[in-house]
Structure 1
C-alpha cells in the first residue's frame, strides 16, 4: 500500500456528482479508494482496506449531518470460480436531495479514516509479513521493513446559490480552495491552501511538499499528474480538461525520541497523512 513515493499510495476521496435533470438539485455521493477516479477498488478489499471513521455533510453554518459509512471488514468473494472472484461493494453511495428551504452557501462533504498502524516485517522464519498493529504489539519480528501510522482525509463541496469561501473543518491535513469550485472551466487557475493541524504546510530543506492534480480525462490514464510546490501553505495549477478532478497531498513525519511524535516511539517509524479534494470542471 505504501511505497517510497507517496504518489503511488492509495488515496481516499469523495465522489460528488450534481444533477439538475428534473428541475431539482441533488448530488450523488460515494467514497473512492485506490488510485483511479471515480472507482478503483472497494474500501474493504483484501488487497488493502481502510476503516472510514467519519463521513459527514456540513451545511454553510457548519451544522453536521452524519452520512452512512461502510462497515470495516475484509471482504470475501460472494461468488468464486476457477477464474473469477465477485465481491459485493459498499462505497457509501447515497443521494443528497436539496430543498427550496435549504440554506444558501457552500456545503462541505468530509470523510476521515481511523488512524491505522501498518507494520511490514521479516519474521524469524524469513517470511515477509504485514500486520495492522503498532510495532510493539507485533511478535516474531526479525527485521522491520516499514512501520507507519496512517490517516486519510477527504473533502468535496456542494454549492447552493453563490459560492462562499469555505471554513476549515479541522482535519489533520486539509486542502482548502481559494477559488470558486462551483463554476470552473478548462484553463481556469485553481488556488488552494494546505494546512497541517491548522498551520500552513510549506516546503523546506527537510521535506519538499507538493500537491498533485489529476483527472479521469487528463493524466490518469497515462500515468502522470500536474504538480505544484506548496509555499507558505499555498499552491496552484490550471485545469486542463473537463470532468472530475482530484487534488492530493501527502505529508510524512519521522518518529524520533525528542520530536513532536515521541509518544509513538516503538509503535511506528513514520507517520503519514493524506488529504484529497475533488471537484468538477465544466
Structure 2
C-alpha cells in the first residue's frame, strides 16, 4: 500500500512539473464561424503541450472568460469541446488564465539535484525557484465583425494585442502586435509564432522582438490556424522573496489566417 501511494504521489508531482514546462493556449474549431438560426457556433478547447493546435489535455485548474464588447462571461473551468453559441456580429475574445504554480530546484542532502512542485520555503541549497503564470487569448470573428474589440486591452498581466483583426488577414500579409506587461508596453521581448501543420516537434515558424514601444510586425506566411507566444521573467517582489526567486509569465494569442 505504501508503494502504491508513493507511486501516485510521484506521478501527480511529475504531471504538475511537466505542465509547468508546457505551453497554454485556447483553440477554436472555427475562428470565423458561420451564422445560422441559432447563432454562430464554435467549439473551444484548452491546448497544452508543445504541438499546436492539439497536443495534450490541460489537467490543472484555470479560469476562462468570453468577452463581447464590454460584457464578460465566465466559461467552464476546463474547455474540452465547450460549445459557444455567439448570437451577435462582432469580435469576441476568449480568455484563459492558469492558477499560479510553483517549481523549485535544489540540492538534496546527498548533493544531488532534485525538485519539488512548490515554493523554496524550508529548503536549503536552492538552485532556483519560480512561480509560473500563463495567459491565453483567442479572437473569434462573427459576421462582418467591423468593431475593433480585437485590439482591446483586457488586463492580462502579460498580453498580446493585435492592431488589425488577424482573422481578416490573408496569407502573406503582415500583422502588427503590441505586447503589454502590467498594462505597459514591453520592449525588446521575443515573440515566436507557428501555424497548424508547420511542425510535429513543437518548432516555431518565426521569431521576432518588440521595439521600444512594445510593437512588432509579423508576416503571416501561411493560411490556417495560428499561435503567437511571448514569455517574460522578472525577479520576485520583496513580499515573495522568501517563497520564490522569479516570476515567470507567458501569453498566447490564437486566430485564423484566411
- Find the counterpart in structure 1 of residue 3 from structure 2: none
- Find the counterpart in structure 1 of residue 207 from structure 2: 227
1:58 and 2:67 matched:
yes
Q: What is the alpha-carbon distance in structure 2 between the residues aligned to residue 163 and residue 234 of structure 1? A: 23
> Structure 2 length as normaliser, TM-score?
0.82
- Find the counterpart in structure 2 of residue 87 from structure 1: none
Cα distance, 1:21–1:66 mapped onto 2, change above 3 Å: closer
Work out which of the residue numbers 155, 169, 179 in structure 1 matches 2:154: 169
What is the CA RMSD across the aligned residues, in angstroms? Answer: 2.2
Cα contact 1:163–1:180 (8 A) shared by 2? no
- Find the counterpart in structure 2 of residue 184 from structure 1: 169
Per-residue deviation, residues 68-120 of structure 1 (Å, max 9, x unmatched): 113xxxxxxxxxxxxxxxxxxxx532111223xx2x32111000011222112
How many residues in Structure 1 have an aligned counterpart in Structure 2? 232
- Find the counterpart in structure 2 of residue 150 from structure 1: 132
Structure 1, unpaired ranges of 5+: 1-7, 45-49, 71-90, 204-208, 256-260
Q: What is the alpha-carbon distance in structure 1 between the residues aligned to residue 191 and residue 99 of structure 2? A: 23
Q: What is the alpha-carbon distance in structure 2 between the residues aligned to residue 150 and residue 34 of structure 1? A: 15
- Find the counterpart in structure 1 of residue 83 from structure 2: 95
Which has the larger share of helix? 2
Cα distance, 1:196–1:133 mapped onto 2, change above 3 Å: same
Cα contact 2:137–2:254 (8 A) shared by 1? yes
- Find the counterpart in structure 2 of residue 246 from structure 1: 227
Tell me the secondary structure at the aligned position of residue 93 of structure 1. Answer: strand
- Find the counterpart in structure 2 of residue 277 from structure 1: 253
- Find the counterpart in structure 1 of residue 28 from structure 2: 16
Tell me the secondary structure at the aligned position of residue 239 of structure 2. Answer: helix
Cα contact 1:16–1:27 (8 A) shared by 2? yes
Q: What is the alpha-carbon distance in structure 1 between the residues aligned to residue 181 and residue 234 of structure 2? A: 11
Tell me the secondary structure at the aligned position of residue 182 of structure 1. Answer: helix
Cα contact 2:35–2:41 (8 A) shared by 1? no
> Structure 1 length as normaliser, TM-score?
0.76
Q: What is the alpha-carbon distance in structure 2 between the residues aligned to residue 191 and residue 201 of structure 1? A: 14
